Structure 1
Amino acid sequence: MNMIEIEGLNVWFGHGIDRVDAVRGASFSVARGESFGLVGESGSGKSTILRAITGLAPDWSGRVTIDGQALAGGKRDRAFFRKVQMVFQDPYASLHPRHSVDQVLSETLHLHGIPDIDTRVRSLLDDVGLGGRFRFRYPHQLSGGQRQRVAIARALAGEPEILLLDEPTSALDVSVQAEILNLLTDLREEHNLTYLMVSHDLSVIGHMCDRLAVMKDGEIVEVMDVAALRDMRAEHAYTRDLLAASVAPGVRTA
């Protein structure tokens, strides 16, 4: 069964002569437990799709279905956010600078109605490889990789089934990017998660995803599996250009 189905999605910003069509006619599906990537240059519309799903981009048309439930425009309810969570690109910007790790996780658990918050906070920190010694630290006392681990723990707090990953490692040092990607891979397996991941980096998509959609100027130009990506096989000219411009060894060995 598909956890995510996108059919003929159009997303725009502004109205009248100021309207900008950010996504046009996007269609793809993500099976339960699958990791699906959206790749393309900046401004291609890939992150906008995530924002439409979460209600952060309210002006859209088409059909978006999450675990068999069709979404409407506007705000998402609590049930949606128990099932779907998003991890943003910049972990520092996504965390309150005056809230400790304990406050961030405890408040999130409270909002989701999760009982035994103390035990659950410890479990979440263990899940993301931090442990109790980080519980009462503040964002400025953490490294970029540690902050992203906290952001991932917060996303997991409500025990979601789907994670939307918006360039989750692009703001991090190269030395810690692989650690976060490996953590996400392990969490997907341990918690039977479904991923929809945005990245401009083909090697990241090759490492993390089973299939991917290539976007250009707001449109999906090709959907392919990761084996084709690693073998440098593409049907669309734009995808071939992306592959040629990438670091080929990184793509092939991802």
Structure 2
Amino acid sequence: MNMLNVSDLNVWFGHDADRVDAVRGVGFEVAQGESYGLVGESGSGKSTILRAITGLIATWSGRIAVEGRQVTGRHRDRAFHKTVQMVFQDPYASLHPRHSVDRVLSETLRLQGMDNVDRRIGRLLEDVGLGGGFRFRYPHQLSGGQRQRVAIARALAAEPRLLLLDEPTSALDVSVQAEILNLLTDLRRERDLTYVMVSHDLSVIAHMCDRLAVMRHGELVEQMTTAQLRGRAAKSDYARHLIAASEGYLREDAPH
């Protein structure tokens, strides 16, 4: 069974003459345990797809199914959020500035109906490479990489099977990006997670993903494997252009 099926997805903002079609007729599937990338230039609709999946955008049509279970409208129940969690681009904006790490994680755990909250917080912090000393710190006391580790821990608190990753390293210093990517790689293996990752950086996608879709102006232009990406085996002119623009970076794959 696929973890995620998306078919004929359309997402828009506004109405009538003010309507903007952000995503048009997109379809793809992601197998259980797979890491799938969405790439394209800014404004291509990549992040909009993730937001429609997770229920942050109400104005969409088409079919979205998680583990064969179809979702509708904007409402997502607890069962959905125990299966699907999202990690956002800006780790500072996604954390409440007046909530300590302990409060962020404990509230999430209780919201998901988890018991043994203290023990689970300690385990989550260890799993993302933060010790117990970070538990009672506030976001302003953390570096960008540490904040993103907390955001990842919050996403893992529900014990999800699918993580939606919206440019999870683009707001971080280059020196920290590789650490977060390596953490995500380890977590996927240890927890048998499925990823859908949005990035404008082809080297990140080549490093992290098994397959990818190339987006342009809200439409899916092409799907390929990362082996095809590295081999410059794109079929469409636009995908070939993207690969050519990233030529120097793809040789290195991603920072290690």
Q: C-alpha displacement at 1:22, in angstroms?
A: 0.3
- Give 3-state SS (helix, strand or coil) of 2:206's partner: helix
Q: Name 1:193's counterpart in structure 2.
A: 193
Q: In the TM superposition, what is the alpha-carbon distance from 1:231 to its structure 2 partner?
A: 1.2
CA distance in 2, matches of 1:107, 1:27: 35
Aligned Cα root-mean-square deviation (Å)? 0.7
List aligned pairs for 1:96-115, cutoff 5 A. 96-115=96-115
Runs of 5+ consecutive residues of structure 2 not aligned to the other structure: none
Matches within 5 A, 1:77-156: 77-156=77-156
Identity across matched positions, percent: 72
How far, CA to CA, are the matches of 1:94 and 1:75 in structure 2?
A: 20
CA distance in 2, matches of 1:18, 1:93: 29
Q: Kindly tell me the number of residue pairs found equivalent between the two proteins.
A: 253
Answering whether residue 241 of structure 2 is matched by residue 252 of structure 1, we say no
Task: State the SS of the aligned residue for 1:37.
Answer: strand
TM-score scaled by length of structure 1: 0.98
Moved over 3 A (4+): none
Instruction: Give SS of 1:36's match.
Output: strand
Does the CA-based 8 Å contact 1:36-1:197 persist in structure 2? yes
Counterpart position of 2:214: 214
Are 2:167 and 1:177 aligned? no
Q: Distance in 2 between matches of 1:37 and 1:175?
A: 22
Following superposition, the deviation at residue 74 of structure 1 comes to 1.8
Q: 3-state DSSP class of the match of 2:79?
A: helix
What is aligned with 2:44? 44
Query: Is residue 2:242 matched to residue 1:242?
Result: yes
SS at match of 2:58: coil
What is the identity, as a one-letter code, of the residue corresponding to 1:147? Answer: R
Structure 1: how far apart are the matches of 2:12 and 2:96?
A: 29
**Distance between the aligned counterparts of 2:168 and 2:187, measured in 1?**
14
- Aligned partner letter, 2:197: M
Structure 1 unaligned regions, length at least 5? none
User: How many angstroms apart in 1 are the aligned matches of 2:38 and 2:175?
Assistant: 23
How far apart in 1 are the matches of 2:6 and 2:116? 37
1:3, distance to aligned residue in structure 2 (A): 0.4
TM-score by length of 2: 0.98
- 1:206 match: secondary structure: helix
Asked if 2 retains the 8 angstrom alpha-carbon contact of 1:230 and 1:253, the reply is no
Cα deviation digits, residues 179-200 of structure 1 (max 9, x gap): 0000000000000000000000
Instruction: Give the SS at the match of 2:212.
Output: strand
SS state at 2:214 partner: strand
Equivalent in the alignment of 2:27:
27
What is the one-letter code of the residue matched to 1:73?
G
Q: Quote the Cα distance in structure 2 between the aligned partners of 1:252 and 1:231.
A: 10
